[in-house]
Amino acid sequence: MESDLYPIVEKWLKKSHLCFKTAINKGLKKYSIIDVTGVKDVGGDLSGEVETIAVEVKRGTEPFAKASGQTLANKVYANRIYLADIRDESFSRDEIYIASHLGIGLIQIQNKECKEVLSSPYYKPIEKLNLLLLENLRLGKCQFCGSFFEISDAEQKNRTTNEKLKKALDDEKGLRFWNREVAKRKKKLGVRNVSDDIESFERRFICPDCIYYFFSQFKVND
């Protein structure tokens, strides 16, 4: 089964690409689901920049150009895109030409091991799709330090409070707040359909570190 290969690729993303977050079968249901996704830190000491890697996994039976096209579609979500396929020998010369022509990376799966044969170029994904994907992986962007952090834990328990700074400080959590002005604008122009009882879908986050080490220095009253 193709899905039997997902954990092999996931393990490789952790080990070889040093991804701090990986996931299987995540994406936006409306558009497509990515077989294996990884997120890694690439920002150096001065930024919390991350890169999203999307891997399309095949079990060696799919027509190559078709699988490559499917892989390419993932650049709407991710910064780097790979096709991982089973090959006893390496990929053929033509396959490598096709992959480099399209701009996708190639991973050879052989004996439950992965090997990067061709690296992926860097892409700038559609930001809203990338952020929605990351949110699906429980990662939110801190509006203050710009880093990505876990907005909930594995049991789906929130690691942020809802606009309650004092509670965030007491519970050592981050903060989630809602932008009303942008929501109003989008509602007015029909960019985002908002029902009357929901004021805003515009969620923004501040990470626990920024709350604890910076915002805690402001005196907070109830």
Nearer to Zn ion, 5 or 210 (CB): 210
- C-beta of 187: minimal distance to Zn ion in Å? 29
- C-beta of 48: minimal distance to Zn ion in Å? 8
- C-beta of 148: minimal distance to Zn ion in Å? 9
Amino acid at 208: P
With binding defined as CB under 5 A, does residue 165 bind Zn ion?
no
Nearer to Zn ion, 9 or 210 (CB): 210
Exactly one of 142, 168, 169, 175 binds Zn ion (CB under 5 A); that residue is 142
- C-beta of 166: minimal distance to Zn ion in Å? 18
Q: Residue 188 and residue 167: Cα distance in Å, rounded?
A: 33
Q: Residue 101 and residue 217: Cα distance in Å, rounded?
A: 54
Residues with Cβ within 8 Å of 152's Cβ and at least 6 positions away in sequence, in order, are: 138, 158, 159, 160
- C-beta of 215: minimal distance to Zn ion in Å? 10
Stretch near Zn ion under the rule CB under 5 A, chosen from 99-107, 124-132, 134-142, 188-196: 134-142
Exactly one of 144, 178, 201, 215 binds Zn ion (CB under 5 A); that residue is 144
- C-beta of 173: minimal distance to Zn ion in Å? 12
With binding defined as CB under 5 A, does residue 210 bind Zn ion?
yes
Q: Could you tell me if 137 and 113 are in contact, meaning their C-beta atoms sit under 8 angstroms apart?
A: no
With binding defined as CB under 5 A, does residue 145 bind Zn ion?
yes
Q: Residue 221 and residue 128: Cα distance in Å, rounded?
A: 35
Nearer to Zn ion, 96 or 145 (CB): 145
Q: Residue 171 and residue 121: Cα distance in Å, rounded?
A: 42
Stretch near Zn ion under the rule CB under 5 A, chosen from 102-110, 124-132, 136-144, 164-172: 136-144
Nearest to 137 by CA among 43, 31, 221, 20: 20
Counting every residue written for the chain, the total comes to 222
Q: Please classify residue 4 by burial: count the beta carbons closer than 10 Å to its beta carbon, then call 0-12 exposed, 13-18 middle and 19+ buried.
A: exposed
Amino acid at 191: V
Q: Residue 14 and residue 115: Cα distance in Å, rounded?
A: 13
Residue ranges binding Zn ion (CB under 5 A): 142, 144-145, 207, 210
